[in-house]
Structure 1
Amino acid sequence: MNFHQLYIFKIVADKKSFSKAAQVLFISQPAISMQIKSLEDHFGTRLFERNTHQVNLTEAGRVLYNYVEKILSLVDEAEKDISALTGCMRGTLSIGASFTLGEYVIPQVIGRFKNQYPQVKVFLQVTNTEQIAKRVSKNILDLGLVESHVDDQELVASPFLQDELMVVLPAGHPLAGKKSISLDEFVALPLVLREQGSGTRKVTEERLREAGVELSALNVVMELGSTEAVKKAVEAGFGASIISMWAVQKELKLCTLVPVRIKGFSLLRNFYLIYKKNRSHTSVVKEFGSFIEEGAFLY
């Protein structure tokens, strides 16, 4: 029996699933099963009742779980106290980031955090806002960094960075010479948009509804699963789009995309740090959360 096996045991118990524990720990399901069998061999009894839908703790498993919680809490306190003395924080951190953040902002954030805490291992998953919120809610991820506010009472959403969405046109478009266009001109454009579930798509639709625009009136010619694909489609002349300013810096410098604003129409938004309410986080997770909320990555 070792500390690693106890940690795996707790994750399986929390998730009630070997496969979900494997997702959290970034190891294979057979490896999870092998470690749990080793623990059960050590104690000479089954720790989980297995069925087709989920796994549940046996009576012996519940006894062990109570002790494991105390052990892991003491280990976290020890790491925190030693880190304070040595300035050397250790541990793991699993983060989810929506596409715009994951591709254009978070790599820089993680790099700066790792400069301060080189012994911390960071695992990053990049997918859309909807999926990140689900994985944080299910404790698959420690924290999420997303592009729109999430409607989940189990999650806390804290704004940490402002963004501006902008309409982008291909170079040479008839409207590209204008600094701003009317809302009617925008609605008439063929549009290349991100897929449903994307934070950028959600904010765009919310603002249009607020302005009285029926979404059915939009001329959506393509829905694509990544910001890079959207940019390429716009550059190729398939339509206009609404994209984060963080995502188009290179294209604006190269003049392959041209930004325009919509008169009287605000596309400012916040990026959010999300985490689960009432979840006990490690000192590493708490430190990264503070790093984000205090904007330390900007300096």
Structure 2
Amino acid sequence: MEDRDWLILQVLFEQKNITKTAQALFISQPALTSRLRSIEEYFGIKIVYRTSKGVHFTPQGEYIAKSAAAMLLTLRNIKERVTDMNTTVAGTLRLGASGYLTMYMLPRLLKLFKEEYPHVEFKLTTTWSRDIFNLVHNQDVHVGLVSSDYGWQGKQHLLFEEPICIASTSEIDISQLPKLPRINYQTDALIKALIDKWWRENFSEPPSISMEVDKLSTCKEMVVNGLGYGIIPTMIVNNNKNLHKIILTDKAGAPLLRRTWMLYHEEMLEMNIVSAFVEFVKNTDFPRVILSQR
């Protein structure tokens, strides 16, 4: 039973199709079929049977396939721990980061870290903060960098916080905001909830959404070109002197803040590569790192 056989079982159980599984794993269908026969011989049971409607797992095969994820995680952890027995900071660091951080901070941060630890490689997953939270929880990544607080119970470190603002190319009378064109963008659910709550506390009518765009960077470019206003984190527009900015505040007059966190499990610090990265990040001036890229 090879390591790759567990991956074959995992993907086949997800796809329920030989052709799609072979394509996903970049192997030929005959090679995949041959490995399945070898796996069945190893366990001494029938794992799958094929019909015109696809692949079906026997009860024993389903149990083995559902165990594949745990086996792959165990094997990966063993390899990482063995590699980490060397005092050199080396190996593959698995990271999860929100799209906002990946675009505006992570490239330079990883460049600086690799300059200090040249034997490190990276495996990066970019998705929503809520999904990064789950990736860290399940140990699919060593460290997560998120832009929302989902109540993480493990180790965490506040990287920076930034006010949320209304950005536009011309001065805005905030009382007229519902009548002005707004550029809306997809963002993390908690950030959206924070902005929506502020809106409801200040206006009795909905915003006038003129554009729905895919991400924050697209919204910023639309705002810069005078196509409407955006409600966005201040850090990505602070150096643009042509934009007018109004900081959002709550009823007590305190600014609405977007906080960025580093999340990890304490036991992960036993690995040299993770410990080195966590300490490196803690000692990094994040506003400087972000702004130096722009």
Q: Under TM normalisation by the shorter chain, which class is it?
A: 0.5 to 0.7
Q: CA deviation at 1:74?
A: 4.8
List aligned pairs for 1:104-183, cutoff 5 A: 104-133=104-133, 141-150=141-150, 158-170=157-169, 173-175=170-172
Is 2:94 the counterpart of 1:90? no
Q: 1:63 to 1:221 in 2, by over 3 A?
A: closer
SS at match of 1:217: coil
CA deviation vs aligned residue, 1:37-75 (integer Å, no higher than 9, x gap): 659638942599458698987588899999987765554
Match of 2:292 in 1: none
Unaligned runs of 5+ in 2: 16-22, 49-53, 290-294
Q: CA deviation at 1:229?
A: 1.2
Match of 1:283 in 2: 271
SS at match of 2:168: strand
Is 2:228 the counterpart of 1:239? yes
For residues 110 and 222 of structure 2, the distance between their equivalents in structure 1, rounded to whole angstroms, comes to: 30
SS at match of 1:91: strand
More off after superposition, 194-203 vs 35-44: 35-44
SS at match of 1:271: strand
Q: CA deviation at 1:194?
A: 1.5
Provide TM-score, normalisation by structure 1. 0.65
Match of 1:80 in 2: 84
Is 2:272 the counterpart of 1:294? no
Do the aligned partners of 1:147 and 1:199 also contact (CA within 8 Å) in 2? no
Q: 1:108 to 1:28 in 2, by over 3 A?
A: same
Alignment root-mean-square deviation, CA: 4.7
Is 2:38 the counterpart of 1:41? yes
For residues 132 and 66 of structure 2, the distance between their equivalents in structure 1, rounded to whole angstroms, comes to: 30
| Number of equivalenced pairs | 269
CA deviation vs aligned residue, 1:131-166 (integer Å, no higher than 9, x gap): 544555666555432211236x79876533222222
Letter of the structure 2 residue corresponding to residue 162 of structure 1: E
For residues 155 and 10 of structure 2, the distance between their equivalents in structure 1, rounded to whole angstroms, comes to: 20
More off after superposition, 263-272 vs 58-67: 58-67
Q: 1:223 aligns with which of 212, 232, 240?
A: 212
Letter of the structure 2 residue corresponding to residue 116 of structure 1: E
Match of 2:51 in 1: none
For residues 268 and 66 of structure 1, the distance between their equivalents in structure 2, rounded to whole angstroms, comes to: 38
Do the aligned partners of 1:158 and 1:272 also contact (CA within 8 Å) in 2? yes
Q: 1:69 to 1:282 in 2, by over 3 A?
A: farther
Q: 2:195 aligns with which of 198, 204, 207?
A: 204
For residues 60 and 266 of structure 2, the distance between their equivalents in structure 1, rounded to whole angstroms, comes to: 22
Unaligned runs of 5+ in 1: 20-26, 176-180
Letter of the structure 1 residue corresponding to residue 208 of structure 2: N
Match of 2:25 in 1: 29
For residues 125 and 73 of structure 1, the distance between their equivalents in structure 2, rounded to whole angstroms, comes to: 18
